Amino acid sequence: MTDTLSSMSSRIRSKDRLDLGLACGLIALGVTGVVMIYSATRQGLINAGYNPHYYLERQGFFVGIGIIVMYVVSLIDYRRLEILTTPFYVCSLLGLVGVYFVGQTALGAQRWYSLGILQVQPSEFTVLIYSFSRWRRSVSEDRRGSPCTTWCGYW
């Protein structure tokens, strides 16, 4: 690995690589979900005397934020994150072990960190990091023609 963190920070992909079909599909999925939530909650809110558009506005806001975050993330060249794979993986394993000691119990199992109003389940991050580390291994095999020989090569 010849990349450094400093070279990683300035690499942003160009706008012409945005997959419009994928973006439109995800937007349509988000809009469909918002409409379904609205249709499922509208009458109950009217009967209770509340604003019938409450969940429509709330969920629409979150879908809008998600679309913006999706676009910003799509501009980042994910291959620049290769150097961070091992530290992310080690941190995710420490997070999983830490749940055993300081995690919150839910339905008879310890699986969450409770951070005030936010609950974090480290196993979800571990799945993402594990997938990324598998990609890293396949890239290493392609470069060398053999499996990765670093201490993390068996991921």
Q: Measure the CA angle with vertex 133, ends 12 and 24; round to 5°.
A: 50
Q: Answer yes or no: is pLDDT of 155 > 50.
A: no
Which tens digit of pLDDT belongs to each residue from 2-57? Answer: 455 555 445 555 555 677 888 889 899 999 999 999 999 999 999 999 999 999 99
Name the band, by pLDDT with cuts 50, 70 and 90, for residue 154.
very low
State what percent of residues in the chain have pLDDT above 70: 74
Rounded CA-CA distance 79/11 in Å is: 10
pTM: 0.56
The whole-number pLDDT of residue 25 equals: 92
The whole-number pLDDT of residue 41 equals: 93
The whole-number pLDDT of residue 12 equals: 52
Q: What is the mean pLDDT of residues 123-145?
A: 70
The whole-number pLDDT of residue 33 equals: 95
